[in-house]
Amino acid sequence: MNLIPFDFRFEQATVRGGFSYHWSFSGLRVFRSFVEASRTEKTTLKTTFGKSRFLNFISTPVCLEFSESRQLDLQNLSSRPAFGKLTNECVEGEVKDGLLFTPAIKARIAEFLGTAPASGSATCIFLITGNEHQLNHLKARKVSELPACLEQDFEICRSLWDSASLLVDLDIEYVNFDFSAEPYLHPHRAFALQEVVETTVEKQLLNFGIEPLHLLSGRGHHFIWRIRRDSRSFDQLKTLGHERTASPGGAEIDLALGAAYHGLGQAIEYLAAEVKRLSAGFSKIPVELTAVEVGPGERGREMISLDISEFGDPLDSRSARVPYSRYLKPQQQKTSLGEQFIDNLPPIFEIPQHEMSVTKALRVMRDPEAVAELAQRAAGFVPDCSAGMETLISSYTASALAKFHRDFYSTEPDPPESWPNV
């Protein structure tokens, strides 16, 4: 492929925070070697990494039109290039700051938002965005704000709250309580340690007839699928759960959806416990449900988390990063991770693990041109696994955990006036 030169600039990133991290000289030397290797592997980005600087690419602007809230204009959504003048296929355009998206990437994002090709209407309720400083969980954005999010080079997440389906995001990730930067400095090791858990998740889901969208992030894997609200499995989950309500921005989660979300949490807890039971004995480091502290190992207190914490939170408070979004968690936490480490990292993107090994995916997700090429062949649709969920629910309801759940929720709590004495 013939490359057209593109411009870039370094932009100072300022991060607030009172945390600091201390590292050894040998660890710093290893990281510098990693950075030097990444410079020589790719000829696309002919530059060096500046000290205490964050690399931003200059790209062309994107103009998306929306008729109303949550209405996407698919024609305009895939009409402009991104990543600046990287290849001959890109068209000329005004140069602006920020990393924007290719036509294929914008189409994949639209798919992940639950966009109907005919109407352009998205079933996603809201967006959450982040920059190099923070992921702003407290500010829900309308889907109609997506154009501004793209122009400002945000990390983009979609709500798990959806108008047509109940979404599942099963997250497994490497966690190190002593050296949080470990998965970013040594990603191949961090992902290799997860392999036994990843394989177990895939086998279990396949046994239930669930074939999810498999995404890779900076620290691990996300398995995402949906359950239609008009499906039998949704009704089963609604029966299992308990009614909940929430009112973000004046909009209410209806009681049926709240109950089904609660029932889903019980079923996913069962799935995660089964994955732990089947994989923990073969894992080199501890496997736990969510990130609970463990004892020291080869490189500090490290473990694999089957993160099901989302089901302990209200549905309107949780989101999932969209495929092909930037992954900015290292930058958002760099005062605690170590600024010298994080400022020299290559860009990281959330990508589907589509027809490639983890080793190759780790290389692709750090190469903007490879990410753009992947978007031309790896879709962003969240698959409908309603039928497979019936099998999972059936297995759960026959389990000892389901009996415990039934006993727990059938027990009346003590009266509030007695709580101070507990």
pLDDT tens for each residue of 84-115: 222 223 222 222 333 446 888 888 999 999 98
**Distances in Å between the alpha carbon of 12 and those of 31, 148, 331?**
21, 22, 12
> With 0-12 CB in 10 A as exposed, 13-18 as middle and 19+ as buried, what is 189?
middle
Is it the case that residue 367 has pLDDT exceeding 70?
yes
For residue 132, what pLDDT is reported?
Answer: 72
Alpha-carbon span 393 to 48, nearest angstrom: 52
- pTM score: 0.75
List CB contacts of 144: < 8 A, sequence separation 6 or more.
Answer: 66, 68, 69, 70, 71
Give me the percent of the chain exceeding a pLDDT of 90: 52
User: Per the structure block, which two tokens stand in for 21?
Assistant: 């991290």
Instruction: Identify the residue whose tokens are 């008009």.
Output: 230
For 133-160, the pLDDT digits (tens) are 667 766 788 888 887 777 776 789 999 9
d(CA 13, CA 235): 48
Is the per-residue pLDDT at 266 higher than 70? yes
Residue with tokens 């798990």: 160
Tell me how far apart the alpha carbons of residues 276 and 244 are, in angstroms, rounded to a whole number.
Answer: 29
**Which range is least confidently modeled, 140-149, 269-278, 310-319?**
140-149
H-assigned helices in 285-367: 329-332, 334-337, 339-342, 358-364
Residue 63 is encoded by which pair of tokens?
């103009």
User: Which residues are registered as beta bridge partners of 319?
Assistant: 159
Average pLDDT over residues 188-216: 98
Average pLDDT across the chain, whole number:
76
Q: For residue 43, what pLDDT is reported?
A: 25
Q: How far apart are CA 75 and CA 79, in angstroms?
A: 7
Parallel, antiparallel, or unpaired: how do β-strands 155-159 and 319-321 relate? antiparallel
- How does pLDDT run across 217-251, given as a tens digit for each residue? 999 999 999 999 999 999 999 999 986 655 555 56
Per-domain residue ranges of the chain: 8-18+27-408
Distance CA 78, CA 373 (A): 15
Give the span between the Cα atoms of 282 and 165, in whole angstroms: 35
